C-alpha cells in the first residue's frame, strides 16, 4: 500500500487563489449575500441574530444589546474558505487580480451585453 503524502500548506497568495473555489472567490470579491435565519436570546441576555451567506454558507452570529448597540459578531466559515497557510488576511487587490484572470473580458460593453443577452436555442421537448 502506498504511503500517504503529506499535505503541503499553500503559502503563496497567487497559488492559493488560483485553486480557490469560485463561490468563495465571489464572496471575497463582492461580499457575502446574507440571509437572516432568525433571532434568539443568548445566555448573557443579548439578542443574537443568525445569518447565513447564500453563496458560501458562512454563518455569522451578531450580538446586540437590547438598546440596539452592536456588541460584536462571530463567524463560522465553510471548510476551505479560510487560507490559514498564508499567515494573514487575503488582500482584496489579490482577489481582484484573480477575478480578472478568470473573467471573460469583452472588447466593449456592447459586445458583452450582446453575449450575455443572446437567446439560447431551446431544447427539444
Q: What is the number of domains present in the chain?
A: 1
Q: What is the pLDDT of residue 8?
A: 45
Domain presence at residue 94? yes
Domain presence at residue 2? no
Q: What is the pLDDT of residue 125?
A: 62
Domain presence at residue 59? yes
**What domain range is 89 assigned to?**
13-117
Distances in Å between the alpha carbon of 6 and those of 9, 25, 85, 121?
9, 26, 15, 48
Q: What is the pLDDT of residue 89?
A: 83
Q: What is the pLDDT along the chain (125 residues), one digit of tens a residue?
A: 555 544 444 458 898 899 999 999 999 999 999 999 999 999 889 999 999 999 999 999 999 999 999 999 999 998 889 988 887 788 999 999 999 999 999 999 999 999 999 877 677 66
Q: What is the pLDDT of residue 87?
A: 77
Q: What is the pLDDT of residue 5?
A: 45
Predicted TM-score (pTM) of the model is 0.75
Domain presence at residue 7? no
Domain presence at residue 79? yes
C-alpha angle with apex 52: 63 to 116, nearest 5 degrees?
Answer: 140
User: What is the C-alpha separation between 31 and 23, in angstroms, rounded?
Assistant: 11
Distances in Å between the alpha carbon of 105 and those of 84, 100, 113?
31, 8, 12
Amino acid at each position: 500500500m502506498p504511503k500517504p503524502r503529506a499535505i503541503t500548506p499553500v503559502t503563496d497568495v497567487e497559488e492559493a487563489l488560483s485553486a480557490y473555489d469560485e463561490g468563495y472567490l465571489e464572496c471575497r470579491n463582492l461580499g457575502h449575500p446574507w440571509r437572516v435565519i432568525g433571532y434568539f436570546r443568548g445566555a448573557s441576555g443579548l439578542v443574537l441574530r443568525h445569518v447565513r451567506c447564500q453563496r458560501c454558507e458562512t454563518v455569522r452570529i451578531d450580538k446586540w444589546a437590547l438598546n440596539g448597540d452592536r456588541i460584536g459578531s462571530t463567524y463560522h466559515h465553510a471548510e476551505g474558505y479560510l487560507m490559514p497557510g498564508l499567515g494573514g488576511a487575503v488582500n482584496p487587490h489579490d482577489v481582484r487580480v484573480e477575478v480578472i484572470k478568470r473573467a471573460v473580458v469583452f472588447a466593449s460593453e456592447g459586445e458583452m451585453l450582446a453575449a450575455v443577452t443572446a437567446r439560447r436555442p431551446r431544447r427539444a421537448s
